[in-house]
Structure 1
Amino acid sequence: MNGGSRGLKVTVITTPSNAPFIVSQTSNHPNISSAIIPFPRVEELPDGCENTADLPSMALWVPFLEATKKMKQSFERVLRDMIDDGRPPICVISDFLLGWTLDSCRLFGIPRIVSHGIGVFSMSISLYLISFSSCLNGLWGMVPIELPGMTLPFKLQKADIPEGIGEADMNSWGVIVNSFEELEGRDHVGRLESFYYNDAKAYCVGPSLLYNQPGQNLEADHDKSSYIKWLDKQAEMRFGRTVLYVSFGTQTHLSEDQLDEIANGLEMANHPFIWVVRSKTWAAPKGWNERVKQRGLVLRNWVDQRRILAHSATGGFLGHCGWNSTLESLTMGVPLLAWPMIGISEQALNAKFVVMGLGAGLMVPWTGVNGEKIMTVGRDVICDKVKELMGGENGRMAGERAQALEEWQGICGKRWVLL
């Protein structure tokens, strides 16, 4: 955020519940201000639910998106006020889920740049398939899909395809991506740009996790949390990167049966682990806490995931393959045990990209023969996959590949300094 030296000013348009976080992140930047607009009340949504992380259930995803569309009038009022005050915006950057902002920007003759929280590879496939959406309707989940002109390192199936990217995206002036060419390849960046009209450019500004780093040595930072001290002890007691980190993000809601299976699978695998459990109601199986207390740590509150992944004791990450978590794991040199959770997202594509494209992880079997999501993955499957990642030959090779990818953090860090 060095725009101030160029005379740039940034206005972040946000809603009341999100404003405190925005202010906390921008208060030291005099050229950044916020404009707060009301979040529409929708019967299905709880009061104060103004971002996807606060959704109590993914069943409310559609009502949430519909609510955002009702912000259009307030959004346009902010743009009008800026123009009337002699401060016309040179561009608007908005999330890809807010496609309606394109019409608002066109109304005032302002270029719109779309911001994506997913990678170049997944975006390229998603945009390609917009042209063939009618052809996909009759396909079942596991039927292979061929993409002329695109070489993929894996078999693409309908079950892998995310939803929500459309014409408003492709009509934007440009696209900002939280990724970098060294990871995804210039060919994929160029292909992504080809889907946008008017010679739009893709600006790879990631990984954004390098911004506001807590320190060059994440493991050695002071003010260590209890779980970091626990990892320190594991590093002293055992040789190598032996701890498995388990987390499925803030938007995944697992059934209690699935949580039971994960608990039993981790116990059976007999590897040290840190497991972040988001459920407020789940209780571990009888006697489980006592049996795993010497090698397992269950956390119920927010954790600094980057610090855990950066620790020398952490050797694997069992997760949902959200793009931010995927980047954090790869830039810390930690192989993934990929288990996509949310079907409407790009998690399945991220998982295949990491496992089959980069060779930096293994996959938990999560779909049936017809492409349907397996409702509950059993403990035996979880146990076997954890053992394979943390102690098997395939896991060893994935770990070596992930550690080789870690070198890219240094390359990107230099780019961030220049930015």
Structure 2
Amino acid sequence: MKERKKTQKAHVLILPYHLQGHINPMLQFAKRLVAKGVNTTLVTTVFTSKSTHTDPTSSIAMETISDGFDEGGRTQAEGSKAYLESLRIVGSRTLLDLIKKLGDSGRPVNTVLYDGFIPWVLDVARQCGVLGVEFFTQTCAVNSVYYHVNRGLLQVPVSGPTVSFPGLPLLEVSDTPSLVSHYGSYTEVFDIVMNQFSNVNEVDWVLFNTFYELETELSKLWKVGTIGPTIPSMFLDKRLEGDRAYGINLFKPNIADCMNWLNGKPNNSVVYVSFGSVAELKEEQMEELAWGLKGSNCFFLWVVRATEETKLPKSFTEEITEKGFLVRWCSQLEVLEHEAIGCFVTHCRFNSVLEALSLGVPMVGIPQWTD
């Protein structure tokens, strides 16, 4: 028995929160661990597993836990708080069962790496006697702001006009994340974001999806590991041959039509516009953006999710056929890599920022939600 333990590989269980921008970086980190010879298992909810488009050739082992709503996910819950409570209670129980099952099958878990949005996972890790590592999908700078709010060091709403944080330059209130600068916006998200720090001082390690050179000052203040950018290797360092996609999509990307449309455009002539999988613009914002793109007289590729289409101005789609192309979802990395792209209008979520930085695409920021 002792000899087997010596030769047994480490086994890391990775649990992202089931949003596209949280699954992607944690899945990419899982690929890096596998490439280093570490047994790695990605854990999603039952409903997420059934409703996603997954790469069948992926080398990442997959398992599921329940959030209490296996058939309909969050939409079945009576509000965000009810869902999160069910996720905590049912998820804790089924995660504990999963860890025991993996151990009984000869694949014992050594470490649980979990999304900061689900801090209760640390309690399960402690109960099982394994290491708990918290993973943050945003920058140290953004999370420093949230940490100060969580600890009561910064009161919201902020009285302003400026605020200061260790390791950061003096900020105007408008420079801070929208949950702080526009207190009361996205109320369902506020508690989730702030609760990331409920037990951060108890974890064995904290990892950030960023790189050291971007976080030099803040990295000196916290015990952290910077492991980003976590984007597919062939768009970055090319160490993982064939790694050109994240591998899991909550929405089905329209890759062929996007590429065909871009292929017919001159170099650096297209404005790419995307506000990600969660941010919801107001109807007035959608209208201003729509007419702004049309009035620019530039070619543009705009990702408009199905749930946002009703906010577009009437007749807009018919009026932009010569210059614009609307798509419900796309492969963002392939779009940003295309030589026709000259500019990226982004909601400033950190995954998008990292992708654009890695591929050298200029950005116009219209910050939304938490960044």
Same fold (TM > 0.5): yes
Among candidates 221, 224, 227, match of residue 205 of structure 1: 227
Q: In the alignment, is the contact (CA less than 8 A) between 1:180 and 1:204 conserved in 2?
A: yes
* 1:33 aligned onto 2:61: yes
CA distance in 1, matches of 2:65, 2:364: 41
CA distance in 2, matches of 1:151, 1:60: 36
Pair 1:132 & 2:129 matched: no
Contact 1:124-1:192 at 8 Å conserved across structures: no
Change (3 A) 1:313 1:60: farther
How big is the alpha-carbon RMSD for the aligned residues of Structure 1 and Structure 2?
Answer: 3.5
1:233 aligns with 2:281: no
Matched with 2:26 is none
Residue 282 of structure 1 aligns to a residue in which SS?
Answer: helix
Q: Aligned partners of 1:253, 1:138: CA distance in 2, in Å?
A: 22
Q: Percent of aligned positions with the same letter in both sequences?
A: 23
By how many angstroms is 1:10 displaced?
2.6
Aligned to 2:187: none
Shift, 1:328, TM fit: 1.0
1:299 paired residue number: 327
Q: Which amino acid aligns with 2:119?
A: G
Matched, 1:90 2:110: yes
Which residue number corresponds to residue 22 of structure 2?
Answer: none
Aligned partner of 2:210: which letter? S
Q: Considering only CA atoms, is the larger Rg found in Structure 1 or Structure 2?
A: 1
1:64-118: CA deviations, max 9, x gaps?
3223212111112222344455654221111111111111222222110011111
**Residue deviations 1:273-330, cap 9 Å, x none?**
1111113452754543444322111123x21111111122212111211111111111
Could you state the TM-score of these two structures normalised by the residue count of structure 1? 0.64
The equivalent of 2:342 in structure 1 is 315
Q: Look up the match of 2:28.
A: none
- Deviation of residue 242 (structure 1)? 2.6
| Runs of 5+ consecutive residues of structure 1 not aligned to the other structure | 194-201, 348-419
Q: Which structure has the highest strand share of the two?
A: 2
Distance 1:286 1:127, change over 3 A: closer
Closer, same or farther in 2 for the Cα pair 1:129/1:327, shift >3 Å?
same
* Structure-1 residue corresponding to 2:126: 106
How much does 1:16 deviate? 1.9
Separation in 1, partners of 2:290, 2:110: 52
1:11-22 equivalence runs, <5 A = 11-19=41-49
Partner of 1:244: 271
Identify if the C-alpha distance between structure 1 residues 246 and 26 changes in structure 2 by more than 3 Å, giving closer, same or farther.
same
Q: Are 1:265 and 2:292 matched, yes or no?
A: yes
Does 2:364 match 1:329?
no
Change (3 A) 1:309 1:61: farther
Runs of 5+ unmatched residues, structure 2: 1-30, 184-192, 236-240, 246-253
Query: Aligned partner of 1:130: which letter?
Result: N
The answer to whether the 8 Å contact 2:233/2:243 transfers is: no
What is the DSSP-based 3-state SS (H/G/I as helix, E as strand, rest coil) of the residue aligned with 2:231? helix
Asked which structure has the greater RCO (Cα within 8 Å, sep 6+), the reply is 2
Amino acid at match of 2:327: L
